Structure 1
Amino acid sequence: MTNQTILEPLPEDQWFIESQELRSFVATVREISVRTADDRSQTLARLEPFFQELLAQQEWLPEQFAQVNPESRMGGGIGQWLLYRAKDRSLSIFSLVIPPGSTTPVHDHLAWGLIGLYRGNQKETVYRRVDNGSLAGHAQLQITEVRSLQPGDIYSLLPPDGDIHAVTTTSQSASVSIHLLGNDTGCVWRHQFIPEVDSVKSFRSGYSNAPCKEEEEKENAQIR
């Protein structure tokens, strides 16, 4: 099973929406993440008030990036819309849109980050892996926390702490969360868990609006 993905750099940073609020936030993230590179807990703590401010502004996210996606690889109509990624692929920001009543697979992220609820209501179930990972395809999880989330709520990821979870929309309308992650989350190989049968498999969630360069290159090679 692949635990780490090495991604080729892109020609330049990629922006998928035009938003001064988002550009200002990314500039702040870059400055703070460089200064606190040796202590990601400090990175998260210093970024949180700026992230809170971004979540409080309800005009910067275009509606097309707050829509469900029937073709989602995550299933359940879940939309994963890329908003920004750094050319070295060390940072991505995306919106995750979960229809009412839908639940994400239990999954990890393999990166530090912040996730904040932008719209709707959610229930988050947080897990901890308790086996040693020595048996392929097997993973034993324990639930460590179940919490209800309201717009503006933020939680942090600092693997292994908080990195494995599943999220359900509990509102009558779709929930929209904003993810700030220290990798190109949709394009790295991550883990999808099925706690009921203690199983795990590799998966790549992709994005609803942007291909992964690695997938494009593989398809082009197959065509040739």
Structure 2
Amino acid sequence: MTPFSRSWTALLAAVAGLPDEDFERPSGCKGWLVRDLVCHLVIDAQDVLITLVTPADTEPTADATTYWNLVGPPTGDPLDALIPRLAAAYGDPALLKFHLDDVGSAAARAAGLADPAARVSTQDKVLTAADYLSAYVLESTLRHLDLIAHLPSAPQPPTATLAVARAALEKIAGAAFPGELPDTDVLLLGTGRRTATAEERTALGGLAERIPFVLG
């Protein structure tokens, strides 16, 4: 549970510390401003809350690794187009910050109170609360990197959770990335958030032809 708490708390703190003008800057998500990404994080927080109070009475069908699916390029989720309109409706960034802090803090408390062995249901899968929250470390870490993609002075994700997220991506991919590549670069390159340089492609070897790993 600790990696989730660290990654999620760091993400909420990064948003809380943003000046209003940064909400109009681009994020690491194509076509989304920072305000759009923060609006999406409100929905992420709601998902965590909903999942943790959706018990399942069957055996787990997934774990922290198989929770994720490797999918093709995005095909245009209707929610992706709705998010910018929802974000714009807030108007004042302070309102968006308040909503994320309110719902996000509740999600953090719910995670802290959850029985790690409890079985929960989400996306037609059953897994333990511990596995669900472990899987979400990758999500929250990637979203943190998206948030600060064009904000060089914003705080980075915690070093420990970057390492956890990297290990999770390697398990999903079924392959280890070169040790000389920093965790942040592995996450950005491995999920297609930036293109590898010639030197990095050499280091990646056969993996260069397999990336990006698009998660769904």
Fold match (TM-score > 0.5): no
Q: Under a length normalisation based on structure 2, what TM-score does the superposition of the two structures give?
A: 0.28
| Higher strand proportion | 1
| TM-score normalised over the length of structure 1 | 0.28
Higher helix share: 2
